[in-house]
Amino acid sequence: MNDEIIDEVRRIRVELASEANFDLREIARRAAKAASQHRHRLAMPREEVSATTPRGDAPVAPVGAQP
């Protein structure tokens, strides 16, 4: 009985670790894509970027949407 529980806990841990690694890779991939698409904004001083960043009330296209 305990062996089954331990095996299940280990399986769940492996599954969660795999999902976390996928999430980190996906975040890195999206960040790299955004950086390559917005190099001009990366060169701006922070104050200018803040002034051009959409606020919560502005519609924002979903990630991966084509302009």
pLDDT digit string, tens, across residues 18-59: 888 888 888 888 888 888 887 776 666 766 656 666 555 555
Q: What is the CA radius of gyration of the chain?
A: 20
Q: Domain segments of the chain: what residues? A: 2-51
Q: What are the b/e assignments for 37-63, b being 16+ CB within 10 Å?
A: eeeeeeeeeeeeeeeeeeeeeeeeeee
H, E, C per residue of 2-44: HHHHHHHHHHHHHHHHHHHHHHHHHHHHHHHHHHHHCHHHHCC
Q: How many residues does the chain have?
A: 67
pTM of the full predicted structure?
0.42
